[in-house]
């Protein structure tokens, strides 16, 4: 269990199974004291700028979503109609500024990728929206994400799916994403540390799988862990070049259909597989 951004570090199990990093949240444990609440409210109202930050970001999020819809309108993608309203609503709800390093907070709602440390990036919001849309998630679905990074994509998925399992290979990123998601109350997101190439056998099968690092080929373990009728989106191609965003669908008989949709650029899939 991770107790907060600056709290105790998670003890990582490094056995063959990826280490689960997230436990139940404790954010509702404080007793409610009406006098205390009034004092807190008064202090908040008196603080310069207090109470303005969130509405400001809400407008930034609306602008970001409009820019996504415009970009999608300009570049029609095969297999994707207009981006689903629920997906856009999820993007309007997730506080992206919480997922980027402090020095980039001012750019958090720009429609562009940003560095998150360790040579990794949080994806461009348009790509997050498009990949999420292609998965056609139902509220009862269990989703697997390879490449937790900041945890932003997992947070978006958590608004649409029943459970989200996400795996990150860099221990520091896995730990900080787990703490962040826990702090923000994303209770249906489960972060583990390990090589996502092998998927997450103990939680499979998944109705939807999303890979957010560039893979040279579609990992066979992920194909096996995709449920009949399920969908996977994955950038396929050489690292450091352009990859093809690829949609893999498995029909009710288990047959695969693979469609290359558009050129994209992702950080490479690493690991010893
Ligand atoms: N989805 C992330 C961005 C992903 S960047 C977000 O919303 O912020 C790609 C991530 O994939 C990086 O954090 C990288 O460390 C991770 N990664 C690369 N290879 C991996 C592997 N084999 N298993 C798990 N994670 C991997």
List the structure tokens of 106: 């001012």
How far CA 249 is from CA of 5, 82, 139, 168, 235, in Å, comes to 38, 19, 19, 24, 14
CB 120 near ligand 1, within 6 Å: yes
* Closest atom, ligand 1, to C-alpha of 273: 22
Q: Are 77 and 68 in contact (CB under 8 A)?
A: no
Integer Cα distance of 261 and 258 in angstroms: 10
pLDDT of residue 73: 87
CB 181 near ligand 1, within 6 Å: no
List the structure tokens of 86: 């629920």
What is the CA(243)–ligand 1 centre distance, in A? 15
What is the CA(146)–ligand 1 centre distance, in A? 6
Please state the pTM of the whole predicted model: 0.84
Which residue of the set 3, 82, 123, 252 is catalytic?
123
pLDDT of residue 10: 32
What is the CA(52)–ligand 1 centre distance, in A? 33
Catalytic status, residue 265: no
CB 141 near ligand 1, within 6 Å: no
Integer Cα distance of 17 and 160 in angstroms: 27
pLDDT of residue 47: 43
Q: Are 87 and 233 in contact (CB under 8 A)?
A: no
Torsion angles phi and psi, residue 264, rounded to 5 = -140, 170
pLDDT of residue 74: 87
CB 98 near ligand 1, within 6 Å: no
Domain 32-264, CATH class in plain words? alpha beta
List the structure tokens of 117: 């440390």
* Closest atom, ligand 1, to C-alpha of 154: 7
Mean pLDDT split into 10-residue runs, the chain, 273 residues: 30 45 39 48 42 67 95 84 94 97 96 96 97 98 98 98 98 98 98 98 98 97 98 94 96 97 96 85
pLDDT of residue 237: 96
pLDDT of residue 48: 38
List the structure tokens of 153: 């994509």
Residues 6+ apart with CB under 8 A from 43: none
């Amino acid at each position: 269990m991770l107790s907060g951004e600056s709290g105790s570090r998670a003890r990582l199990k490094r056995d063959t199974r990826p280490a689960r990093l997230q436990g139940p949240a404790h954010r509702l444990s404080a007793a409610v004291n009406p006098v205390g609440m009034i004092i807190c409210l008064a202090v908040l109202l008196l603080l310069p700028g207090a109470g303005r930050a969130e509405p400001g970001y809400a407008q930034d999020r609306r602008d970001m979503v409009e820019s996504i819809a415009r970009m999608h309108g300009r570049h029609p993608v095969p297999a994707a109609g207009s981006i689903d309203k629920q997906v856009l609503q999820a993007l309007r709800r997730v506080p992206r500024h919480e997922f980027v390093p402090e020095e980039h907070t001012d750019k958090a709602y720009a429609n562009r990728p940003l560095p998150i440390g360790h040579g990794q990036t949080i994806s461009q919001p348009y790509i997050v929206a498009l990949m999420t849309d292609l998965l056609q998630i139902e509220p009862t679905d269990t989703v697997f994400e390879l490449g937790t990074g900041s945890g932003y994509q997992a947070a978006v998925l958590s608004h649409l799916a029943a459970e989200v399992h996400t795996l990150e290979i860099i221990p520091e990123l896995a730990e900080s994403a787990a703490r962040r998601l826990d702090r923000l109350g994303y209770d249906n997101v489960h972060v583990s540390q390990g090589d996502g190439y092998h998927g997450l056998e103990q939680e499979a099968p998944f109705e939807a799988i999303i890979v957010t690092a560039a893979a040279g080929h579609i990992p066979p373990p992920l194909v096996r862990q995709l449920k009949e009728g399920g969908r996977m989106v994955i950038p396929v191609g050489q690292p450091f070049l352009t990859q093809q965003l690829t949609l893999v669908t498995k029909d009710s008989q288990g047959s695969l259909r693979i469609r290359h949709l558009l050129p994209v650029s992702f950080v490479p899939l690493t690991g010893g597989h």
